[in-house]
């Protein structure tokens, strides 16, 4: 869950010395071997196979052959760039919404909940317990045309704003970008809240008092003390939300329409329905590259190098 902030291992000098024999020195390697082998064979090797598939040509009947046909990448980009941009846009919007919605709740649990803290944490984790597909289907009921939620949103003029933004059309929410973003935000909120909570909880409350004693307004305290100190949580929360959201196809499929298809939907249908493996492999490589580059740049910018 938390990709972050395991305290750094003691760097200076080996704390536990195992120099007794060669056999002793091999112990860590024996411990690592099975698990690392598993990851190499079933994580790294598949990526190699996928790379080779992406430059193959052929058909299902005649078989595929590596022909170094890089054109596939170019074709995939020119044909599916709308889905790529849409994925990044939806995932980005969902990430920002998750941060805006998740921060107050994480703050509430960390500083204001008192003896309710554990109850609230259980409620935050509750979504993990019921299968996420069942819960996503529940959104179909909640956002149903003419249902109470849509009625209220329509009455307060919310749907006018979202349709001006191109997120909805008319007085329906289901099968629009808004429905997909709602589902994405909902599904990945716990991945934002938990790292935020962990980093907020570590802040010494006396720092807040000190800031108040120095005549800082509560908003200033938040801006100058709390938020900067919670940055590790913000960084890992946004990553844990954005990365899976960018490749998701469940929300777009269940809550959206053909106009809201994301790149995940394209990869899924190319692989499992159209059976055009080279294009599917190329698409998935482009997605991986885009995400890895964005993540690397973001981590550099945010200045949190020690993520693991």
Partner 1 sequence: MRWIRRNLVVIAGLLTLAYMILPNIVVMVFSFNKPAGRFNYTWQQFSTDAWKDPCGVADMCGSLVLSLQIAFWATVGATVLGSMIAFALVRYRFRARGAINSLIFLPMAMPEVVMAASLLTLFLNLGAQLGFMTILIAHTMFCLSFVVVAVKARVLSMDPRLEEAARDLYAGPVQTFVRVTLPIAAPGIAAGAMLAFALSFDDFIITNFNSGNTVTFPMFVWGSAQRGTPVQINVIGTAMFAIAVLIVVAGQAISNRRKRIAQPK
Helices (H), 26-70: 27-39, 45-54
Residue 76 or 189: the one with the smaller Cβ distance to partner 1 is 189
In the region spanning residues 191 to 230, those forming contacts with partner 1, defined by CB under 8 A, are none
Stretch that binds partner 1, among 76-84, 118-126, 155-163, 203-211 (CB under 8 A): 118-126
The CB-of-153 to partner 1 minimum distance in angstroms stands at 14
Residue 22 or 164: the one with the smaller Cβ distance to partner 1 is 22
Q: Is 179 exposed, middle or buried (0-12, 13-18, 19+ CB in 10 A)?
A: buried
Q: Is 212 exposed, middle or buried (0-12, 13-18, 19+ CB in 10 A)?
A: middle
Q: At CA 117, angle to CA 216 and CA 92, rounded to 5?
A: 70
The residue from 35, 114, 205, 303 that contacts partner 1 (CB under 8 A) is 35
Stretch that binds partner 1, among 45-53, 73-81, 159-167, 202-210 (CB under 8 A): 45-53
For position 44 contacting partner 1 by CB under 8 A, the verdict is yes
What is the total count of residues that contact partner 1 (CB under 8 A)? 91
Residue 167 or 191: the one with the smaller Cβ distance to partner 1 is 191
Report the SS3 class of residue 172: strand
Stretch that binds partner 1, among 32-40, 75-83, 150-158, 165-173 (CB under 8 A): 32-40
Residue 14 or 164: the one with the smaller Cβ distance to partner 1 is 14
Residue 168 or 279: the one with the smaller Cβ distance to partner 1 is 279
Q: Which tokens in the block code for residue 67?
A: 């022909």
Stretch that binds partner 1, among 67-75, 128-136, 164-172, 205-213 (CB under 8 A): 128-136
Dihedral in degrees, nearest 10, Cα atoms 77, 81, 83, 87: 100
Q: How far does Cα 281 stand from its chain's mean position?
A: 21
Q: Between the CA of residue 171 and those of 86, 96, 146, 147, 264, what are the distances in Å?
A: 22, 25, 8, 11, 28
Report the SS3 class of residue 66: strand
The CB-of-93 to partner 1 minimum distance in angstroms stands at 16
How many whole angstroms separate alpha carbon 302 and alpha carbon 2? Answer: 17
For position 126 contacting partner 1 by CB under 8 A, the verdict is yes
For position 274 contacting partner 1 by CB under 8 A, the verdict is no
The residue from 66, 75, 96, 127 that contacts partner 1 (CB under 8 A) is 127
In the region spanning residues 51 to 110, those forming contacts with partner 1, defined by CB under 8 A, are 53, 101-102, 104-105, 107-109
Q: At CA 144, angle to CA 138 and CA 149, rounded to 5?
A: 90
For position 293 contacting partner 1 by CB under 8 A, the verdict is no
In the region spanning residues 229 to 258, those forming contacts with partner 1, defined by CB under 8 A, are 239, 243-244, 246-250, 254
The residue from 70, 77, 128, 217 that contacts partner 1 (CB under 8 A) is 128
**What are the φ/ψ torsions at residue 57 (nearest 5 degrees)?**
-130, 165
In the region spanning residues 147 to 176, those forming contacts with partner 1, defined by CB under 8 A, are none
How many whole angstroms separate alpha carbon 133 and alpha carbon 168? Answer: 23
């Amino acid at each position: 869950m938390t990709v972050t902030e395991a305290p750094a291992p003691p760097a200076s000098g080996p704390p536990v010395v195992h120099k007794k024999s060669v056999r002793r020195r091999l112990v860590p390697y024996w411990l690592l071997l099975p698990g690392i082998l598993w990851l190499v064979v079933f994580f790294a090797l598949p990526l190699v196979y996928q790379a080779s598939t992406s430059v193959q040509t052929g058909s299902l009947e005649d078989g595929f052959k590596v022909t170094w046909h890089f054109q596939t990448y170019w074709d995939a980009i020119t044909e599916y760039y709308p889905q790529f941009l849409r994925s990044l846009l939806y995932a980005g919007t969902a990430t920002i919404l998750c941060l805006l919605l998740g921060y107050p709740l994480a703050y509430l649990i960390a500083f204001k909940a008192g003896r309710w803290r554990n109850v609230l944490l259980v409620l935050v984790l509750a979504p993990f317990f019921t299968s996420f597909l069942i819960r996503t289907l529940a959104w179909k009921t909640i956002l149903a045309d003419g249902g109470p939620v849509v009625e209220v949103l329509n009455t307060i003029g919310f749907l006018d704003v979202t349709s001006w933004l191109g997120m909805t059309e008319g007085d329906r929410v289901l099968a629009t970008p808004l429905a997909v973003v709602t589902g994405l935000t909902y599904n990945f909120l716990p991945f934002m809240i938990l790292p935020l909570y962990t980093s907020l909880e570590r802040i010494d409350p006396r720092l807040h008092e000190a800031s108040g004693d120095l005549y800082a307004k509560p908003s200033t305290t938040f801006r100058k003390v709390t938020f900067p100190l919670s940055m590790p949580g913000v960084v890992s929360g946004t990553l844990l939300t954005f990365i899976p959201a960018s490749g998701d196809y469940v929300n777009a499929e269940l809550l959206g329409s053909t106009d809201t298809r994301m790149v995940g939907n394209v990869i899924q249908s190319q692989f499992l329905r159209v059976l055009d493996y080279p294009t599917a492999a190329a698409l998935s490589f482009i997605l991986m590259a885009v995400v890895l580059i964005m993540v690397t740049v973001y981590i550099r910018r945010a200045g949190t190098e020690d993520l693991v």
